[in-house]
Amino acid sequence: MKKKKNEAWEWTKALVVAVLLAAVIRYFLFAPIVVDGLSMMPTLHNQDRMIVNKLSYEIGKPKRFDIIVFHAPEGKDYIKRIIGLPGDRVEYKNDTLYVNGKSYKEPYLDQYKKELGDSPLTYSFTLKDIIGRDTVPPGELFVMGDNRRFSKDSRLIGTVPMTKVLGKTSVIYWPLKDAKIEKVK
């Protein structure tokens, strides 16, 4: 009888430790997220399941073109791509991204640009047009979805404070046919 009680107690302890460990990992390190909508097409698809690395910006700094998850103004979590870092001047001219006067290629947009032909995917704007400032404010990011014509991003909601960023995401784990690690391009 005593042996059965000890075994039950050991299993209970193991289960409690496993649950606590899973909670710590989920809350502090990594969390699953589901892509909701088409704003990151063709890079991410509606209902893709991804892992958010919550430590990424605790130990490192955001990089241009990282895909991040953040708390949006209306209480939802958005997934977008970093275009402008603090202090950057961001501008689109003739469907080309310019940051601090330098043009950048965005290969993740090539598919949509081909489909549109001569019609621009991203309309021309300057940061001043969008947020009333020449540069991205300190501690904030300018983000955009890859599906530029159908993305609610910094062009509509303004810059994103780093305090609202949950983390970086690059691992798609479901559906299995789409499973991959999305590299910054």
CATH of the domain at 143: 2.10.109.10
User: Can you give the pLDDT at residue 184?
Assistant: 56
**Which helix (DSSP H) or strand (DSSP E) does residue 167 occupy?**
strand 165-174
Going by pLDDT thresholds of 50, 70 and 90, the confidence category of residue 20 is confident
Q: How confident is the model at residue 104 (pLDDT cuts 50, 70, 90)?
A: very high
Bridge partners (DSSP) of residue 171 are 51, 181
**Phi, then psi, of 61 in degrees rounded to 5:** -110, 150
Q: For 113-170, what is each residue's pLDDT tens digit?
A: 888 878 888 899 999 999 999 999 999 999 999 999 889 999 999 999 999 998 888 7
Q: Considering the candidates 2, 4, 13, 39, report the single residue annotated as catalytic.
A: 39
For residue 120, cis peptide bond before it (omega within 30 degrees of 0)? no
Omega before residue 175 within 30° of 0, cis: yes
Indicate the burial class of 102 (C-beta count within 10 angstroms; 0-12, 13-18, 19 or more).
exposed
Is the preceding omega at residue 161 within 30 degrees of 0, hence cis?
A: no
| Residue 180 a catalytic site member | no
**Tokens 């870092």, residue?**
85
Which is catalytic among the residues 56, 80, 151, 154?
Answer: 80
80 is an active site residue: yes
pLDDT at 185 over 60: no
Domain count, the chain: 1
Q: Reduce the DSSP state of residue 90 to 3 states and report it.
A: strand
> Considering the chain, what percentage of its residues have pLDDT values greater than 90?
39
Q: Which domain holds residue 35?
A: 2-181
User: What pTM was estimated for this model as a whole?
Assistant: 0.82
Nearest to 41 by CA among 120, 114, 109: 109
